Amino acid sequence: MGSRDGSGDSTGGQGYAADIDSIREAQARIAPYVHRTPVLSSTSIDAVAGKQLFFKCECFQKAGAFKIRGASNSIFALDDEQASKGVVTHSSGNHAAAVALAAKLRGIPAHIVIPKNAPACKIDNVRRYGGKVIWSDVSIESRESVCKRVQEETGAVLIHPFNNKYTIRWWFNFWCGPCCKGHKPFNTYSGSRAKRC
């Protein structure tokens, strides 16, 4: 489950952020809410690099970035009581939009603390997904302070941009995908030029 302090850790700090079971659990949890994006390669770029390279095309992902994976895993891991008061995060970019969208998919409020110098397009994304924008100054201290205040006022659960085991698990899921789906590991691809995971 989630945690009030944003760690996503209900074990009191013991144990690892991810193991194979939690990664598979994350994969199943987020599957209905994210795209299986392609892994592409380019013989022209391979020739320049002198190696076979693979590109995970998360530009085709919902919300336009990979961040929706961690946000979805974090938000859909919350129990109903935790989720009922919504979520809060701080971000000036893709995590902000991802949390807003994942919260919308779950049907709960999203309070998004955004620094005043954030790009207009990022702010528009948050609002388009139904997130409530709350302004902070540009420093990380201000972001965290405003986020804490919103959390105390609303009871919302903090979805930390990176320091949260549910956010971390999507990363392993992201790269484990081709292997867990029965594809060859990245370094053994030689035929097909596209895979999805």
Query: pLDDT by residue (tens digit) across 161-178?
Result: 888 887 776 655 555 554
Verdict on whether the full-model pTM lies above 0.75: yes
User: Rounded to an integer, what distance in angstroms lies between the CA atom of residue 3 and that of residue 122?
Assistant: 26
Reference 156, options 109, 113, 123, 114; nearest CA is 109
- The pLDDT tens digits for 98-121 are 999 999 999 999 999 999 999 999
Catalytic site residue from 92, 136, 165, 195: 92
Asked if residue 145 has pLDDT above 60, the reply is yes
* Residue 16 identity: Y
* Pairing mode, strands 132-136 and 38-40: unpaired
Mean pLDDT, residues 130-146: 96
**Which tokens sit at 4?**
């009030």
Q: Which of 67, 74, 136, 195 is catalytic?
A: 67
pLDDT band at residue 179, thresholds of 50, 70 and 90?
Answer: very low
Query: Which one-letter DSSP state was computed for residue 107?
Result: T
pLDDT reported for residue 188? 39
pLDDT band at 125 (very low <50, low <70, confident <90, very high): very high
Report the C-alpha gap between 57 and 60 in whole angstroms.
Answer: 6
Look at residue 165 in the predicted model and tell me its pLDDT: 80
Please say if 92 is a catalytic residue: yes
Q: Taking all residues of the chain, what is their mean pLDDT, rounded to a whole number? A: 83
